[in-house]
Amino acid sequence: MWQPDEPGVLRLPSGRLVRGRGLRRPPAAVDPQYGLYLLGKPLPDPGWSHAWLRWPDFRLPADPAAAAVAFAEALRRAGDERVEVACNGGRGRTGTALACIAVLDGVPAAEAVAYVRRHYHPHAVETPWQKRYVERFGSRS
């Protein structure tokens, strides 16, 4: 499991820990066991179990249904694995995904962006449409 005080680690209401990260930054000393990568194109094999969602920068996931499945899988795995969610910068797409995962873990959708900004990064979820996506995600999940 992640250490709760490690940079980028978000503690969910259930106590599960998920690390958010920007891929532009060097990886931490400890590798994840599972990664969910939110990019416009697939990344090279990182060396651990992972999933890729086509998600262009500053936009929304290309396939919202696949995104919902991926978020649920990340939450499930976070119960006993080191799970990482990452995009290039680690704020917009990563923050949006973390907020959706928080919704799945019990945070009300209307409060999920504020929760992630408070507990992960103050600039997480960068665009108005990403914020609306999280707010509406609660009605889809």
**Distance from the first to the final alpha carbon of the chain:** 26
pLDDT tens, the chain, 141 aa long: 899 999 899 999 999 999 999 998 877 788 999 999 999 999 999 999 999 999 999 899 999 999 999 999 999 999 999 999 999 999 999 999 999 999 999 999 999 999 999 999 999 999 999 999 999 997 765
Measured between alpha carbons, how far is 99 from 1 in angstroms, rounded to an integer? 20
Give the pLDDT of residue 140. 62
Structure pTM? 0.96
In the prediction, which pLDDT does 37 show? Answer: 98
Note the pLDDT of residue 118. 98
The three-class DSSP label of residue 18 is strand
For residues 48 and 51, give the distance between their C-alpha atoms in angstroms, rounded to a whole number. 10
* Residue 46: both structure tokens together: 């990182």
